[in-house]
Amino acid sequence: MGGHTSCLAVSVGERPPTLVLDSGTGIQTLADEFPNGAPFQGTILLTHLHWDHVQGLPFFPPADNDNARVVVAQPAQGDAYAVMARAMSPPHFPLMPDGLRGDWQHIGLESGKHDIEAFEVVARDVEHKGGRTFGYRVTFDGVSFAYVPDALDANDDAMLELANGVDLFVRGTPFTSAEQERADLYGHGTIDHAVAIAEQANVGRLIVTHHAPMRSDADVAAIAARHGVTAATEGMVVDL
């Protein structure tokens, strides 16, 4: 709960994060994990390129750093740099992506298995709206989690594959089943369906995220409690 948009960072032990999933405005708070001007060196893995998942990219000082090494990976849909630059360029923004300091690389990923930093990542296409979108399964040393923030409920096969037996399933659920028509209109999921998928996939824990902006924190907490799941909050740390 809170006002920032999607960003999930992954660390191994006490080391700074080397894998970041999505770069919404929440990436700004991740700078606290890089004290004394330490640079980010790793991969920013995007589920898709909607504004709320990329708008924090130029506001993350550890990546905008002369000593940074940043790979920005997105679902393949043409030249990766050019696609990103369509959103991050004048008149929408004063800088192009190559205006950020450090060593940056923009790549497109296809569906399938990838080795990214120290992690095994499985990417699967999910139906959202307005551009190619992935859900991810991330595994390290036998521990795994699935991350599907933006997808219609009608993605059972992909979600069950990604979430099967994971320790943690992070699913975007701005809506409830009573709001199914609106969920379908925006290409998003419902908390009722997420609970059902988590049960079928035998996940260790379900955390719901991507809360609807028209709800208060109290509203989000009440909906999560009613369904017996955890609602993501800003700064939440989950130890797997």
For 123, phi and psi rounded to 5 degrees?
Answer: -110, 135
Instruction: Print the domain residue range for 72.
Output: 1-109
29-88 pLDDT, tens digit each: 999 999 999 999 999 999 999 999 999 999 999 999 999 999 999 999 999 999 999 989
Q: Is 117 found in the same domain as 80?
A: no
Q: Is 96 found in the same domain as 44?
A: yes
User: Residue 239: inside a domain, yes or no?
Assistant: no
**Percentage of the chain surpassing pLDDT 70?**
99
Q: What is the mean pLDDT of the chain?
A: 94
Position 122 confidence tier, pLDDT thresholds 50, 70, 90? very high
Give the pair of three-digit tokens for residue 173. 């659920």
Of 26, 150, 151, 132, the closest CA to residue 83 belongs to 132
For residues 4 and 234, give the distance between their C-alpha atoms in angstroms, rounded to a whole number: 7
pLDDT for the residue numbered 220? 87
For the chain, the domain total comes to 2
The mean pLDDT of 145-153, rounded to a whole number, is 96
Q: Quick count: other Cβ atoms within 10 Å of Cβ 77?
A: 12
**pLDDT above 60 (res 127):** yes
Q: State the SS3 of 39-72.
A: CCEEEEECCCCCHHHHCCHHHCCCCCCCCCEEEE
**pLDDT above 90 (res 21):** yes
Q: What is the CATH number of the domain that holds 156?
A: 3.60.15.10
Q: What are the angstrom distances between the C-alpha of 181 and each of 131, 153, 174, 176, 184?
A: 20, 11, 12, 10, 5
Q: Which of 60, 75, 109 is the last residue of a domain?
A: 109
Q: Is 137 found in the same domain as 44?
A: no
Q: Is 5 found in the same domain as 102?
A: yes
Q: What are the angstrom distances between the C-alpha of 39 and each of 27, 31, 54?
A: 14, 9, 19
Q: Is 176 found in the same domain as 77?
A: no
4-13 pLDDT, tens digit each: 899 999 999 8
**pLDDT above 90 (res 226):** yes
pTM for the model stands at 0.95
pLDDT for the residue numbered 240? 93
pLDDT for the residue numbered 1? 57
